[in-house]
Amino acid sequence: MLFAFECGTKMMTQFVIDNGGIMGQFIKAGKVNDVMTNSGISKVKDDDKSLYRVESIYEGSSNYSLVNDVPTVSSYYSITSGNISETMESLENSDIFTAVWTKDLSRRTGLMELAGVKYYLKRGSGIDLTSVPYGYKLKDTLETKAEDENNDNVYLYENSLALPLVYGYDNYMKKSDWDSLDSYDKENAMLQIAVVQDDMNGELKERTPSCNSVVVVNKKKFMSKLKKMKLPNMKVKGDKITVKSGMVKIPISFKGIANSETYLNIKGIDYNHFSDEYVKEKLKASDISQDERSDVIYNKRVDNFYLGGIINDKYAGFNYCTKYYIYNGAKSTLCNYGYNKNSLKEAYFYMSSPGVYTFDDIKIVCQPMDNYKKYVKKLKLNIKNLEIEHNKISYNAKLNNKKLICTAVPYSKGWSAKIDGKPAKIIKTNGMYMGVVAPKGNHKIEYSYVTPGLGLGSALSLAGWLVTISLFIIFRRKKNTN
């Protein structure tokens, strides 16, 4: 029911051949619990009993939220709300794996803030600051228990600017206007203004957000850099990029902006397998290497691969799918190179599968964090007694002026709301969360959830049983009479 919790279990996994080969994908008997139980999450749960979410990067399990019994930003469930998957696609989250699986929020500071993320965990043998969102401070370093993890440390970071799961807006913008923004500006807009479906008819003032993102490498410059590389396994002609074999990893130098989160934004991805004519021609060639021959033969069977960025040897990529059984519908992505206090000078772009690529647009963008603290401070409300239990959410809010109060729990038609005991209209906010408008003063806000159609379904079931029993009695009497 809640986006906070993983609601499904991964029944089977795709095997990926990496350094460990097929057998490297398995876990030794008796080590499963150690691998899936995150010592950092256990530490958080012991130390902090308040309500918050966790983002844990590089987790091996898609259902680590259930295993560790903690609210996360991960969602893996076959009936995941369309509001979640559609909003994630609109925000071009690079960590969408399928239409029903959002692994995490790509370390994007604003999205994590608005989801109520208070703790961030990562594994690794060293501290890679580029993978730590803005405002997060190292709280603790722990060792993993599993031999299979090579005893890498778990680094636990705390969000020094953390919002609770409830925050408030003074202004709004219509979703139709929000949809026209670039994905990184959409994120920045939600830190300032509530995004709602329809006009609010004077309840709040409509406003345009301030966007200060900077494109530091546009498509023309990006393609020019690729052409200059002249790699033996890559050919660039016009807007078409052909990767002949293997994967391509290309350094892109640029002048970034200090105190910024930097993104690789790819729009309108079009990937094609090698044509039959190309395959025939290549296989006839006498100078083709064995690796290239294998890639050409195997190419038609490629159904998903990674595409995007690399920073400090950490992937910031997107799982592009070519087959509908795992297709997530996304043709655009925003890969996060991470937050940097100093200006970023270089990052990598990679294409991990041979084939033919074209992009409607590809660029590197910096999002300065200069106004971030101001935005978060304005969103923060005086909230007391926040409780989430089963199908109910409640809290007390003290408001200095009329607000749209956003509760970072997925919107669904099954929810109903009350303000001070009186029914209140729920407004779908920021694409996937719930909001109510409350006036100045002290208020008790309550949400309750009932599965849509449950009452009608129960009544029909009861009626069905009564009809069945009645017919049984009638037939029994007729039989006895005969």
pLDDT tens figures, 4-51: 333 332 222 222 333 343 344 444 545 545 555 566 777 788 888 888
pLDDT tens figures, 102-147: 888 989 999 999 999 999 988 765 444 457 899 999 998 887 655 4
pLDDT tens figures, 414-472: 899 999 999 999 999 999 999 999 999 999 999 999 887 666 666 777 777 777 887 77
Using the predicted structure, report yes or no on whether residue 340 has a pLDDT greater than 80. Answer: yes
| CA pair distance 405, 418, nearest whole angstrom | 13
For residue 8, the model assigns a pLDDT of 32
**What residue has token string 């996994």?**
13
Domain residue spans in the chain? 23-159, 166-212+374-449, 215-370, 457-482
List the alpha helices (DSSP H) in 206-349: 219-229, 276-284, 290-298
442-455: burial string, b at 16+ Cβ within 10 Å, e else: ebebbbebeeeeee
Higher pLDDT, 197 or 22: 197
For the record, the structure tokens of 234 come out as: 């890559």
- Residue 42, amino acid: S
For residue 318, the model assigns a pLDDT of 80
pLDDT tens figures, 217-273: 999 999 999 999 889 889 999 999 999 888 899 999 999 999 999 999 999 998 888
| CA pair distance 167, 446, nearest whole angstrom | 15
**What residue has token string 């950092």?**
40
Among residues 52, 28, 32, 4, the alpha carbon closest in space to that of 159 is found at 52
| CA pair distance 383, 393, nearest whole angstrom | 13
| CA pair distance 194, 442, nearest whole angstrom | 21
| CA pair distance 40, 42, nearest whole angstrom | 5
| CA pair distance 96, 333, nearest whole angstrom | 9
pLDDT tens figures, 72-104: 888 776 677 788 888 999 999 988 877 677 888
| CA pair distance 367, 101, nearest whole angstrom | 27
pTM for the complete prediction? Answer: 0.83
